[in-house]
Chains A and B, each alone.
Chain A
Amino acid sequence: MKSLANLSQRTWWIVGGVLVVVAALLPLLNLSIPGVLPGATYTPGTLQLLALALLFASLALSYHLLFGTAGMLSFGHALYFALGAYGLGIVLQQTELTLIPALGLTLAVVIAAAYLLGSLSLRVTGISFAMVTLAFAQAGNVLVRRNPGLTGGEEGLRLDTEHIPDFFIGVVNTRNLYWLSLALLVVVFVVVAWFENSRAGHAVTATRENELRVRVLGLRPFGVKLMAFVIASVLASLVGMVHLLLQSGTTPRATSADFTLTILVIVVLGGVGSRWGAIVGGIIYTLLDQRLTALASSDAIDGLPAILRIPLSEPLFILGTLFILVVLFLPGGIAGAVKRLSTGTSATPSERKLLEEAE
């Protein structure tokens, strides 16, 4: 990642700034990209999809902090997303708090939970860590499904709009939610970049590379790893809260192991260890998912013989296969491929090493 930006780190920030401004102007423009977007960019449907894409980009960035930077392969990241979404939803439903205090209360719960579960899971490393986080997330999944009174059970939780400002409610105001999602992406990006460049970030990267050596140097890896874990969890919960507002509710799918795997797929597709890769991966994934679902129910697929129709009508099958192919043949994901194209080198030892030493 460093070599990608070594010549022109400032240029990259400027490019990013321009992209944010362009993205912010999209709801005011009448652009159509047939085949990619369902309609012109000012229509609520398209803005909803774009906002979702931005949220997935933010979520992927938060996971990048965990997996790419700190090298912690977590299978329970969805838990914190769900904690944000369900937490805010439940607080809004059960109490008389308005949006901002409710946000604050949920955040406090998330921080406490992430701190507690993080310090417990970080007692083990590598694959055990992955399984432990998976188990905790599964417990969350069980809790959500077993308490229909509080969480809506299988039906999902509907957003109680009584205490939410009017400019976030209704189809007409989708663009406000779009801007909120964009702002969140910027915040998440800045926090992640700041953490990666801070002393704690360097320590955590060093721990990823060689934990023993960090210990020998007299540093304590546990603290910085826990810090990365809590920050990533809090960012994920923020994404969950905005997701709740955008979708006017949340479903138990947000707590499932499949959802975490989806985030992992996004990060690997985009390129492990690359902030831009995570964002691009999140946006491409959302658009691809939406397009593939549209494709699956289209007439063209319906007319095919069963042997082609069945696989092609399952978006997850196509995504899963694509994912396997990327892991096998495109180490470093999209970001790695772009870098190879631009620098003309074929080998990407750094990404490969990154993946390996994450274990």
Chain B
Amino acid sequence: MSTIILLLITGLGLGALYFLVASGLSLIYGLMGVLNFAHGSFLTLGAFAGWELSRRMGGESWGTLIASMLLGMVVGAAVAAATEFLLIRRLYNRHIEQVLVTVGLALATVALFEGIWGTDPIYVTAPPWLSQTTEILGARVPNDRFLMIGAAVLVLLGIVAFLRYTRFGLIIRAGVENRSMVTALGIDVRKAFTVVFAIGGAAAGLGGVLASHYFGYVSPQLGGSLLIFAFIVTVIGGLGSLAGAAIASVVVAILQQFANYFWGGTGDLMVVLLLAVVLLVRPTGILGKKA
């Protein structure tokens, strides 16, 4: 029983990380039709920014942790907005070329990070509370899981509130439904593109800082390894659906944890198998629009 609770909460923590990456991917894809391969680099950069900050301020304090999370968000948002503005916008409506540009950016930035910070993992320091455990129904759960879950829930609520109650949110929701109609009504959707990229980048940057605490290290490959699972999550959840991404993140991460524990480390394969099953039964994903 305690094992199952531990696996469930750990799965939720991992799912929170997936969601932080997948939410941005899904929003960007939903509005612009761009599959953003550089999203992993936003995450990695956020993680490195957070690490650089905590290295300078001493990583033991809560203030540093919160500051590094905020810095990760700001860096992620700034880089993502710059990417949209300088690269993606020039290729407006040419989806494949937009994907190719993000592929090039991902290759170049990972190489650049390796040049700057080296290829070896760098271990991070965190407030001592995070490495302790809390007992829930007999299960000793590492405390950092709660941080992940809390942050992801806040991000989810924040994005939902933003989409529902602000003018930009309205434009974005309308744009996901029917972009040409929004443009025809005289609204400049392109501003919304930059905003969506910035939001996605901020979530990824935050995800980067949290991922560095979840795994205990930062490395240039950090973003790439999470990105692949985030891709799977977005497909399973349905491209462009935020709620779908949230559900799929949790399902995928929990499945992964259970398979790793009970079926001898087959988590990654089970996730791919789940993807295959979802595609066979429902090619548009759980909450995807009808093709």
Contact = CB atoms under 8 A, between A and B. Distances in A.
B115 A314 contact: yes
Interface residues of B, number: 45
B283 A128 contact: yes
B158 interface: no
Interface stretch (A15-23, A93-101, A283-291, A319-327): A319-327
Interface in B82-97: 87, 90-91, 93-97
B104 A127 contact: no
B contact face: mostly helix, strand, loop, or mixed? helix
Interface in A123-141: 123-124, 127-128, 130-132, 134-136, 138-139
Contacts of B109: 320
A142 B269 contact: yes
B104 A323 contact: yes
Interface of A: 73, 120-121, 123-124, 127-128, 130-132, 134-136, 138-139, 142-143, 146, 257-258, 261, 264-265, 268, 310-311, 313-317, 319-321, 323-324, 327-328, 331, 352, 355-356, 358-359
Interface stretch (B124-132, B203-211, B231-239): B231-239
Given A311-B112, A320-B109, 11 more contacts: A120-B276, A121-B279, A128-B239, A128-B279, A132-B235, A132-B275, A142-B269, A261-B103, A319-B108, A324-B101, A359-B96
A131 B35 contact: yes
Contacts of B101: 324, 327-328
B97 A327 contact: yes
Given A128-B283, A268-B100, A146 B108 contact: no
17 contacts: A123-B280, A128-B279, A131-B232, A136-B272, A143-B269, A261-B37, A265-B107, A310-B115, A310-B116, A311-B115, A316-B111, A317-B108, A319-B107, A321-B104, A324-B104, A327-B101, A359-B33
A310 B112 contact: yes
Given A257-B228, A261-B107, A327-B104, A356 B96 contact: yes
B115 A127 contact: no
Contacts of A123: 279-280, 283
B35 A355 contact: no
Contact of A323 (B90, B96, B107, B112): B107
B235 A128 contact: yes
A319 B269 CA distance: 32
Nearest to A357: B96
Given A132-B235, A320-B107, A139 B268 contact: yes
Nearest to B232: A135
Contacts of B108: 316-317, 319-321, 323-324
Contacts of B235: 124, 128, 131-132, 135
A131 B265 CA distance: 23
B253 to A, nearest CB: 15
B99 interface: yes
Contact of B99 (A127, A128, A135): A127
Nearest to B109: A320
B114 interface: yes
A320 B234 contact: no
Nearest to A355: B96
Contact of A257 (B87, B97, B112, B224): B224
Contacts of B29: 127
Contacts of A258: 107
A121 to B, nearest CB: 8
A316 B110 contact: yes
Interface string B258-285: 0000000100110110011001100100
Given A324-B104, A327-B104, A355-B96, A134 B231 contact: yes
